[in-house]
Every structure is written in C-alpha cells, then in structure tokens.
Chains A and B, each alone.
Chain A
Amino acid sequence: MTTTAARATTVEVRLPSRLGFEKVAMSTAASVAKLMGFREERIDDLKTAIAEACINAIEHGNRLNEKLSVGVILSAGADALEIKVMDDGKGIKAQPTKPDIDKKMHGEEDPRGMGMFLIQALVDEAEWVVGSNGKGSYVRLVIRLDKDQDQ
C-alpha cells in the first residue's frame, strides 16, 4: 500500500475486461477492509457491491473489450473506505431501481438488471459519474466504519 496523503492510504488494481476478474477486486477490497477493522458482515456487503460495479464496468462500460481495462482505486481513510471503479464507457445515466420480483416472475421485467440496486443497497454511498468527454466514467462507493460495531 502507498500512502498518498495524511491518514489516507490508496491501493490501485487494474483488471482485464473479462468476467471473473471482478474477484480480484473483491479479494483486494476485502483485505483492505479487514485491515481497517470492518466486521465480516460489512466486508461481505462490500465484496458484492464491488463485484457488481466491476461486472457493470466490464460488460457495459468496456463491452467485454479485453484491450480495455477496469481501474479500481481503494482509498482508506480514518473512518471510511472509498472505492472508484472506472471504465472507458459513456457511463450510466439511469438511477438504480428496486427489482420487482413479481414482474420478473411473470416475464414482465428482465430477470437481470439488479446490479445497481444491490450496489446502492449494500454500501453507504453510491454515485455514478458520467465522464465529461463521453468516456472515462466511474462509480464511486463509500462504506463507513461503524465505530461502535466494527473493529
């Protein structure tokens, strides 16, 4: 880990745009979160959120183009972990919506399309940022240490 600012520690990972490599980001994030003192339940939340963010970046941002990579930056602060997952796509303008299981079961809604909802539900902050020049978009996640329960 490289210290880049007082009380902030940054870890960067670059993933190939190939499904399955989201697990590298998951294990890296879990290691950082464990060092910070997050409890296991929150680490599981973080792993799922970061996996879904990376899958979106690989599938939709970089469209499975293995010449492009997905960047993951983990910034560990005193009381929170911020994660940015970056791709070369145009970004997502839609807002996460809660899946409607009845519609899915009746074929009125795609069974897929739950990634953004899970991300938003499992972390404390989730923000989708569209790149200013039509590329270089990212999703920013924040998960906070609960001083009473974590550590």
Chain B
Amino acid sequence: MQTDTKSKVEQASSPAGTPVTVLRFEGDISSASKDAVIGSYQGLSKATVKTVLLDFTKVEYINSSGIALVIQLLMEAANSGQKVLAFGLSAHFQKVFTMVGITKYAGLFPDQAAALATV
C-alpha cells in the first residue's frame, strides 16, 4: 500500500559555476523510503560533493517517519561538511518543515533556480 519512493541523482551548477548534486525524489517519503533517501545520499562522494540539493517537486506525501529520514540525511551531511538546500515542497510541507526546525539546517526554496542562486 505504501507508494515506492524513487530517487535520481543529477548534477547541476550554480550561476557562479559551483557544482551542485541534485537528489530528485518522487512518490511518498515515509518509513519505507530509507533506501531512496539515505541510500541515495550515502552513494554520493563525500570527497567531491560539497552541496546537495533536495528536489521534492514530485513528492505528494511526507509523514513524520519520512521527515526523520530527511533529518538523518541532514545530520550525515553536517558531519561531512556538506551544505544541503531543498526546493519543491508544497506550502503545507514548507510549514511542517519549518515547525520541526529543519529550516535551521536546510534552506527551503520555491524552485531549483532560486536555490542555485544562493550557492
């Protein structure tokens, strides 16, 4: 019954030419999403990837277990000295992420261009 989470890794660069790795998620983000969220993040090189952009544009449902996975990703990124940004969240999930404090550790942006402009 739980919808699978798909994830895709793409490379982008900021207007200043800084390379950014984009993790694009699709589907639900719940307790069943560990491989898609944590697994795909852990597949990135900690030596070369300095900025990670999370794309939630195609995510419709995130529950507290899914938010916990995002926090776990942020924790690992902070320990590796990586910067994390996010975009594509609905207004409701922007509110929820703000309520639980995620915005202290990951900037939220309306779209990819707005996020890249800050890198």
Contacts and interface: CB of A to CB of B under 8 A. Distances in A.
A105 B104 CA distance: 10
Contacts of A48: 63, 92, 96
A118 B1 contact: no
B99 interface: yes
A48 B66 CA distance: 12
Contact of A112 (B2, B65, B75, B91): B65
Interface string A9-45: 0000000001111110000000000000000010011
Chain A, interface size category, equals: 20 to 34
B96 A19 contact: no
Given A19-B31, A19-B32, A112 B102 contact: no
Given A111-B75, A115-B64, A99 B1 contact: no
A137 B71 CA distance: 30
Contact of A114 (B91, B100, B104): B100
Contacts, number: 75
Contacts of A107: 75
The B interface, classified by DSSP as helix, strand, loop or mixed, is: helix
Interface of A is mostly: helix
B68 interface: yes
B30 interface: yes
Interface string B56-93: 00000101110111011011001000000000001110
Max chain A C-beta neighbours (<10 A), residue from B31, B63, B96: B63
19 contacts: A18-B1, A19-B30, A19-B32, A20-B3, A20-B32, A23-B61, A45-B92, A52-B64, A55-B63, A55-B65, A101-B71, A104-B71, A104-B101, A105-B74, A105-B78, A111-B68, A114-B67, A115-B64, A118-B96
